[in-house]
Amino acid sequence: MTKQPKLSLGPIAYYWPKETVEAFYERIAESPVDIVYLGETICSKRNQMQYEDWLAVAERLSAAGKEVVLSTLALLEAESELQRLRRICSNGRYLVEANDMGAVQLMAGKPFVSGHSVNIYNERTLGLLARQGLTRWVFPVELSHESLADMQLRRPAGVETEVFAYGRLPLAYSARCFTARARNLPKDDCRYCCIDYPDGLTLSAQDDTRFLALNGIQTQSAKTFNLVGEVARLRSLGVDVIRISPQSNQTERVVEVFHQCLTDQLAPAEGQAILEKLMPVGPCDGYWHGMAGLERRAQAAAETLI
């Protein structure tokens, strides 16, 4: 019998007010996720939630039976950012998600999770990081289920595989803040304007095709990646953890739909139809099927029949 994957909630990629964040995790404490990743991963200037505030949320979620993992910044430049990183890495209680090789270095010899911004494309990389202490890794979002199958055959014993399965895709990181640029503000006087865009700021091509989402220094897909229709394959590939990336509305509903599909209370096709109505722009799943990321396989298949 194949093992049932656990459900995780990734870190909030956006800048939400403190009360919104706290209320969000109060609801998550009651939801059927097993693992919750907490912390700021995008911009060190976002300061609504301080380290102690995150620890308080961690405490609350632990008490509710969730496994808590503290996430770290994906782009580390300033010494102040390294100092905050060291504090998280030496927290002594919670597992840490390393999102940069700097964090991997600081976690050497201790158990850690690697996030999707750490490039693990082959088994030699995975094996080396497992010897440094890696216990779980997030599969790169641009790779297909065929590459995942190859990796699953070769992964070291005791290493868990987590797959990003729902959310706007993380596509790029920059030193430039695109949200501040859109508001015509310099980055060093950004006025924390990304707080106005709880799902990122949608960017369109000149023909009005919604293409990307600007989230501070991060660029995401405008479309929401969704693998709820693939839960059977995820299970058969031996995926240990399925990750949902928070959005400003209906995240608990998304969690519930994934949970119901995993426990056979809901058909995956039905789950897919429900989730597609909850997305800011629409669905995509091209990467998973070895195509351009913005493609959607179901749709592409239908178009070839026309």
Partner 1 sequence: MELVCPAGNLPSLKVAVDQGADAVYIGFRDDTNARHFAGLNFGPAKIAEGIKYAHQRGVKVFVALNTYPQPSGWPRWRAAVDQAADAGVDAVIAADIGVLDYASEHHPNLRLHLSVQGSATNYEALRFYKERFGIRRAVLPRVLSMSQVRHVIENSPVEIEVFAFGSLCVMVEGRCILSSYATGRSPNNFGACSPASHVEWRETPNGLETRLGGVLIERYPQGRNAGYPTLCKGSYRVDGHTYHAIEEPISLNTLELLPQLVESGVKAVKIEGRQRSPVYVEQVTRVWRAAIDACRRDPAGYRAKEEWLTELGKVSEGTQTTLGAYHRPWQ
Tell me which residues touch partner 1 (CB under 8 A): 74-79, 81-82, 85, 100-106, 108, 117, 119-125, 128-129, 140-143, 147, 150-151, 154, 169, 171-176, 178, 181-182, 186-188, 201-209, 211-212, 214, 219, 221, 286-287, 290-294
Q: Which of 76, 151, 126, 136 is nearest to 106 (CA)?
A: 76
Nearer to partner 1 by C-beta: 74 or 234? 74
- In the complex with partner 1, the residue whose CB is nearer, 27 or 154, is 154
Q: How far is the CB of 203 from partner 1 (least distance, A)?
A: 5
The gap from C-alpha 91 to its chain's centroid, in whole angstroms, comes to 22
In whole angstroms, how close is the CB of 185 to partner 1 at the nearest point?
A: 12
Find the shortest distance in angstroms from Cβ 246 to partner 1. 21
- Nearest distance in Å: CB 89, partner 1: 10
State how far the Cα of 189 lies from the Cα of 111, in Å rounded to an integer: 38
Of 93 and 181, nearer to partner 1 (C-beta) is: 181
Nearest to 237 by CA among 300, 105, 148, 138: 148
Smallest gap from residue 290 Cβ to partner 1 (A)? 7
Comparison of 150 and 270: residue with beta carbon closer to partner 1: 150
Q: Find the largest Cα–Cα distance for the chain.
A: 58
Cα end-to-end distance, the chain, whole Å: 41
Report d(CA 46, CA 300) in Å as an integer: 39
Nearer to partner 1, 174 or 263 (CB): 174
In angstroms, the CA 179 to CA 181 distance is: 5
Distance CA 17, CA 13 (A): 13
Whichever of 215 and 260 has its CB closer to partner 1, that residue is 215
Nearer to partner 1, 58 or 177 (CB): 177
Minimal CA–CA distance to 111: which of 138, 126, 129? 129
State the nearest-atom distance from the C-beta of 23 to partner 1, in Å. Answer: 27
Count other Cβ atoms within 10 Å, centred on residue 265: 11
Smallest CA-to-CA distance from 261 within 279, 281, 244 is with 244
Give least dist CB 129 to partner 1, A.
Answer: 7
238 conformational bin, left if phi > 0, alpha if psi -120 to 50, beta if neither = left
